[in-house]
Amino acid sequence: MAPATARHIIIGDVHGMLPELNALLGAVELRKEDVVVFLGDLIDKGPDSPGVVARVRELREGGQDVRLVKGNHEEKHERFRRAFAAAGDNVKMKGLDELKGITAALSGKDIAFLETAEIVVKVPGGVAVHAGVLPTTKTLDLATLGKGAELLMRVRHVTGATQASVTIEFGGLDFHPDFEREQELSPEELVALLGAERRTVVKTRYRPAGSFITLKKEGPGDPFWADVYDGRFGHVYFGHTPYVEDKTPREFQHAVGLDLGAVFGNRLAAAVLTGDGARSYVSVPAGDKFSTTPWEE
């Protein structure tokens, strides 16, 4: 348990920006009793992923209480390491050259450290996750979440309304003059349609409001998850979504976005939580820009 005087320092996506990480650790005036929580995506895109991993690992080895949230980039490297162990050079993954290069530059201790990453880390007044929390989530217990845990590393937008769809055949035909083969329906329309005569239901799908939407598939009525999150797990501190124009972390009613897009030339930021419940922010400017596509996974 952290001492009463400990602060929680929650740091957004570093993405290989080692000078900026060192500057930020200096700016927060890190103390031995502080708990440092990294929101994931230490690696990829930036110039020195191995250096960042080694720096964070050495903090922990030096006695600092360091917690690492698993980001989608840490998860991607996990998949690569498993695939490479099984198939060697036959592995086919997007960004293969970068995956190979970073993996070759990591020490065994670095990889062991990355494998300590957690999906959810509790912090005063809430939780730290990489991307966010679906409004439909009932629990953050990983045994109950199952595959849903991966969505905590990837969520951005969610469905704004309940959606139901059905694929049907009428009288053995694959169409009917009154219905398209596939269409979006309200729950009431779906119930009525399933009661139609001479129909065969081929496939049904039901998605409540607040369900996960794949990147770039959101529509104008689909909100960002933090805009509709009701605070059921306390305040959520997250990265993943880069606010490349902001100078301070993006605040929502029950959440704070800490990725200010350092690797895109903006800033690296941290939230500082004190034992009395106060929250403040510290950030440092990026020295250069190393990536230009904020929405590339």
Q: Looking at the predicted structure, is the pLDDT value of residue 291 above 60?
A: yes
Q: Determine the Cα–Cα distance for residues 197 and 179; give it in Å rounded to an integer.
A: 13
Neighbours of 259 (CB within 10 A): 33
Q: What is the pTM of this model?
A: 0.86
Report the pLDDT value the prediction gives residue 206, as an integer from 0 to 100.
Answer: 74
Report the pLDDT value the prediction gives residue 174, as an integer from 0 to 100.
Answer: 47
Q: Are 51 and 24 in contact (CB under 8 A)?
A: no
Cα angle value 205/211/213 (rounded, 5°) = 95
Residue linked to tokens 């690492």: 68
Q: Looking at the predicted structure, is the pLDDT value of residue 48 above 60?
A: yes
Q: Looking at the predicted structure, is the pLDDT value of residue 2 above 90?
A: no
Mean pLDDT in residue range 75-100: 90
Q: Determine the Cα–Cα distance for residues 156 and 257; give it in Å rounded to an integer.
A: 11
CA distances for 167 relative to 183, 184, 193, 211, 268, angstroms: 8, 10, 11, 20, 47
Band (pLDDT 50/70/90 cuts) for residue 199 is low
Q: Looking at the predicted structure, is the pLDDT value of residue 3 above 90?
A: no
Axis crossing angle, helix 72-87 with helix 96-105, rounded to the nearest 10: 90
Select the more confidently predicted residue: 42 or 214.
42
Type of residue at 227: D
Q: Determine the Cα–Cα distance for residues 71 and 171; give it in Å rounded to an integer.
A: 49
Q: Looking at the predicted structure, is the pLDDT value of residue 295 above 80?
A: no
Mean pLDDT in residue range 73-84: 94
Select the more confidently predicted residue: 38 or 86.
38
Q: Determine the Cα–Cα distance for residues 124 and 234; give it in Å rounded to an integer.
A: 9
Q: What's the pLDDT tens digit per position in 150-195?
A: 999 999 999 998 877 666 565 544 444 444 444 566 666 666 666 6
Report the pLDDT value the prediction gives residue 163, as an integer from 0 to 100.
Answer: 78
Q: Looking at the predicted structure, is the pLDDT value of residue 11 above 60?
A: yes
Mean pLDDT in residue range 213-221: 89
Q: Determine the Cα–Cα distance for residues 130 and 69; give it in Å rounded to an integer.
A: 6
3-state secondary structure of 284: strand
DSSP state of 233: T
Which of 182-206 are b and which e, b meaning 16 or more Cβ less than 10 Å from the residue's Cβ? eeebeeeebeebeeeeebeeeeeee
For 14-137, where are the alpha helices, taking DSSP H only? 18-27, 49-61, 72-87, 96-105, 108-114
Q: What's the pLDDT tens digit per position in 264-288?
A: 999 999 999 998 889 999 999 999 9
Q: Are 49 and 78 in contact (CB under 8 A)?
A: no
Average pLDDT, the chain: 89
Select the more confidently predicted residue: 6 or 66.
66
Mean pLDDT in residue range 284-297: 86
Query: In DSSP terms, which residues pair with 167 in a beta bridge?
Result: 182, 203
